Amino acid sequence: MRKIKSFLPFNLITLCLTINACSQTTNNSSTALASFEATTPCDEVSKSLLNLPSADKAVMIKWALSLLTPTTYKLIYTYGMDKPNTRDFSEGAITKEQVGKWNKSNYKKMEIYTLTANNGPSLSFLKLNENVLHLLDNNNNLMVGNGAWSYTLNRVNAVKVSSNKANSQKIEESVLADSIVFDGRMPCYAPLLALSGTTARGCNLVKCRIILYSDNSTHAPSSLKFYSIHVGTGGSRYLSTGKWMIIRGTKTDENCTIYVLQFNSKKGQQDLMLLKGDDNVLFLLDNEMNCMAGNDYCSFTMNKVMR
């Protein structure tokens, strides 16, 4: 199978967000201009962004963001400890709500949505497209998640976006590390399942680990390993191997970087493409080279494993 790492200048979005205690959308979602949902980590950085007490015990946050009008929004979020073997919280989770104003701006060719809360902190998000936002830290860097969750917000009832295909060109680029590892949990996307020759029946999500290797002498991209577990189907761990390369350019961004994963398969398995947000975050692209919306629990995002 082939794997792609992609890099796009992201549309940044600064948002003062109100988060929901559940991964469900708010009552305003049916009339809002756009609603987004996610489950993300709750670490010291995200606690700081939301002005949460550092002493509060929490490992995850569930978000429900509604852009109500061209200038107003509502954010509901819940944070706390996870309940083992479920997607829910243990007892003691805390829910908060914010409302305020939001606007669009540009930063280094990236679109930013800025939400300014009436009674809380402002948050910044990168806008990847109409269906996908990604949380930024105070320095406008992409927030890095973990093997369980990413800091990507996914649009409820995703809208169709135009093809982003282009005549992308392969580039020769050195990889400084001998190997790079990315983890993530994704929805049961057919091309991921096809790597192991399985279907989506019984699948709840796919746990993924990608290891990208570089040539010892030239430091150019070389081989790859792709591990996956289809949660809900028995727990088997599948391994796919192949090689990877780097290409540049999409229809909307001629300078973005994409990692293409090419797999060793006798069945003609399609390549996977990953948009490189930065050195730490990758976004899986569809066949039209667009970022895809996940669901309220997982996204199509891979996070670098820090070693």
HSE, side-chain direction, 13 A CA sphere, residue 76: 15
Q: Quick one: 136 and 180 in the same domain?
A: no
The number of domains in the chain is 2
pLDDT tens for residues 174-226? 787 899 999 999 999 999 999 888 777 889 999 999 999 999 888 999 999 99
At residue 10, what is the residue type? F
Q: Quick one: 288 and 270 in the same domain?
A: yes
- Beta strand 34-41 pairing with 72-80: unpaired
HSE, side-chain direction, 13 A CA sphere, residue 129: 24
Q: What are phi and psi of 302, to 5 degrees?
A: -115, 140
pLDDT tens for residues 85-96? 899 999 999 999
Q: Quick one: 188 and 268 in the same domain?
A: yes
Task: Give the span between the Cα atoms of 57 and 64, in whole angstroms.
Answer: 21
Q: Quick one: 129 and 30 in the same domain?
A: yes
Region of residue 56 (phi > 0: left; psi between -120 and 50: alpha; otherwise: beta): beta
- CATH code: domain of residue 241: 2.40.128.640
pLDDT at 26 over 90: no
Task: Give the span between the Cα atoms of 176 and 212, in whole angstroms.
Answer: 12
| pTM (2 d.p.) | 0.88
Task: Give the span between the Cα atoms of 212 and 179, in whole angstroms.
Answer: 5
Positive/negative CA dihedral, 131, 135, 138, 141: negative
**How is residue 115 annotated by DSSP?**
E
pLDDT tens for residues 218-227? 899 999 999 9
Q: Which domain holds residue 125?
A: 11-155
DSSP labels for 124-135?
Answer: EEEEEETTEEEE
Q: Quick one: 90 and 173 in the same domain?
A: no
Q: Spell out the alpha helix ranges (H) of 202-304.
A: none
Match 């577990």 to its residue by tokens.
229
